[in-house]
């Protein structure tokens, strides 16, 4: 292929990869960005192969010089530093909004469901649900898994079923997530206003602001010695499981509290109740709360025999 075509292709591809690479690092995970970056990456490799072919003689000369050895050593050293992940590298990686989803996986099997989440290289979380009598992998239950802070604000949805009726069948999670989105927007606006108002003073006196909405502050806090308790919740609902009390039994919500200051490898999730809505007359809004799952709930209790949270932690400082 003509040199000018190859060179121009490489230049344009490089620009596209640079933009999508930076977007992929700093912005939340987006399948379109990653698709463009990954697939054009292969085209880029092909173009580079043509470029190498066109410039083979010059490159051969370059690689016989001492500079080549120096460049190879420098690149090898950089790779080694990134692999060892010392604090400065972790700090740079911490700027990314997009490193978690790569290790985020939900598996539905005949008799169980497993959810794996790895928010940091040294912190692996696995939720293990052993199916009960009512569990049917052919008609999988709708599931949402999320984290809450101590003020019971939703922090992050780790997983939710992609079925079109998921929001309707998992109303508590959907309510919590909607509230979170509203509060997060308010909190960000409040923080911006606070920063502006505190520019030329030493402090601001205010009503109590909310704590951090950043899940990383709880799951993988900068100081592992600090108490950063958070709750992991799961809402689960089997379709078409009516009984004599309900045409379709409501979802059930299970919870486990995690505190990295007091690490435990295994924790069992406890049933906290089923969601029920009521109208808040003052606000004119529908509010959801959890009620005790009494005898009217029957087979929904048997969706799984056990729900276990496993956390594998290792020293974050290498």
Partner 1 sequence: MKRHFFVISLLMLISVWVFFAIKAGEEKTSYQSFQGNIFGTRYQVQYHAHEQLDMDAAEIQAQVEKLLQRIDKIASTWKANSEISRYNRAVAKDEFQLSDELREIITLSEQLKTSTGGAFDIHHQGEEIDVSAIAKGYAVDRIAEYLHDELAIQNFLVEIGGEVKARGHNAKAEPWKVAIYIPPSHSHIVGPRVTLSNTSIATSGLYFRENHIKNAETGHAPDHDLLSCSVIHPSNTTADALATALYVMGAEAGLAWADQNEVEAIFIKSDGSIIKSVQAQR
| Contact footprint for partner 1 (CB under 8 A) | 149-151, 187, 189-190, 192-194, 197-198, 200-212, 217, 226-229, 282-283
The DSSP 8-state label assigned to residue 27 in this structure reads S
Q: How far is the CB of 154 from partner 1 (least distance, A)?
A: 14
In this complex, which beta carbon is closest to partner 1, that of residue 32 or of residue 203?
203
CB 289 within 8 A of CB 278: yes
In this complex, which beta carbon is closest to partner 1, that of residue 240 or of residue 282?
282
Q: How far is the CB of 201 from partner 1 (least distance, A)?
A: 4
Task: Give the span between the Cα atoms of 129 and 256, in whole angstroms.
Answer: 13
Q: How far is the CB of 190 from partner 1 (least distance, A)?
A: 6
- If we measure between CA atoms, which residue out of 156, 130, 168 comes closest to residue 232? 156
In this complex, which beta carbon is closest to partner 1, that of residue 18 or of residue 189?
189
CB 215 within 8 A of CB 120: no
Buried b or exposed e, range 77-98, using 16+ CB within 10 angstroms:
eeeeeeeebeeeebeeeeeeeb
Scan for tokens 């050593």, then name that residue: 73
Task: Give the span between the Cα atoms of 111 and 98, in whole angstroms.
Answer: 32
Q: How far is the CB of 230 from partner 1 (least distance, A)?
A: 11
Q: How far is the CB of 95 from partner 1 (least distance, A)?
A: 20
Q: Is 41 exposed, middle or buried (0-12, 13-18, 19+ CB in 10 A)?
A: middle
Please state at what angle helix 31-54 crosses helix 56-63, rounded to 10 degrees: 90
In this complex, which beta carbon is closest to partner 1, that of residue 70 or of residue 185?
185
In this complex, which beta carbon is closest to partner 1, that of residue 151 or of residue 314?
151
Q: How far is the CB of 81 from partner 1 (least distance, A)?
A: 26
In this complex, which beta carbon is closest to partner 1, that of residue 139 or of residue 261?
261
In this complex, which beta carbon is closest to partner 1, that of residue 11 or of residue 193?
193
Angle (CA) 175-139-171 rounded to 5° is 10
Task: Give the span between the Cα atoms of 115 and 106, in whole angstroms.
Answer: 4
CB 24 within 8 A of CB 37: yes
Q: How far is the CB of 315 from partner 1 (least distance, A)?
A: 19
Q: How far is the CB of 200 from partner 1 (least distance, A)?
A: 7
- If we measure between CA atoms, which residue out of 122, 83, 117 comes closest to residue 102? 117
């Amino acid at each position: 292929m003509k040199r000018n075509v190859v060179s121009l292709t490489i230049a344009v591809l490089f620009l596209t990869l640079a933009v999508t690479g930076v977007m992929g690092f700093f912005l939340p995970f987006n399948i379109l960005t990653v698709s463009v970056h990954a697939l054009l990456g292969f085209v880029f490799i092909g173009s580079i192969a043509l470029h190498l072919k066109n410039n083979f003689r010059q490159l051969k000369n370059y690689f016989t010089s001492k500079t080549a050895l120096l460049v190879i050593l420098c690149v090898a050293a950089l790779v080694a530093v990134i692999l060892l992940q010392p604090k400065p590298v972790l700090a740079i990686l911490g700027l990314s909004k997009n490193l978690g989803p790569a290790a985020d996986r939900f598996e539905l099997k005949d008799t169980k469901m497993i959810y794996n989440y790895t928010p940091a290289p040294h912190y692996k979380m696995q939720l293990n649900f052993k199916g009960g009598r009512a569990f049917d992998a052919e008609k999988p239950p709708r599931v949402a898994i999320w984290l809450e802070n101590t003020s019971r604000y939703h922090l992050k949805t780790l997983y939710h079923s992609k079925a079109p009726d998921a929001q309707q069948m998992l109303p508590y999670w959907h309510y919590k997530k909607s509230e979170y989105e509203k509060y997060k927007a308010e909190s960000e606006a409040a923080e911006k206003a606070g920063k502006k108002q505190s520019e030329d003073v030493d402090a601001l006196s205010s009503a109590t602001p909310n704590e951090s909405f950043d899940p990383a502050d709880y799951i993988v806090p900068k100081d592992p010695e600090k108490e950063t308790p958070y709750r992991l919740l799961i809402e689960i609902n089997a379709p078409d499981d009516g009984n004599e009390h309900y045409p379709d039994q409501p979802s059930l919500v299970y919870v486990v509290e995690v505190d990295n200051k007091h690490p435990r490898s295994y924790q069992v999730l406890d049933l906290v109740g089923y969601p029920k809505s009521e109208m808040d007359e003052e606000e004119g809004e529908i509010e959801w709360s959890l009620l005790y799952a009494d005898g009217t709930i029957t087979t929904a209790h048997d969706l799984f025999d056990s729900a276990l949270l496993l956390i594998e932690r290792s020293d974050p400082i290498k």
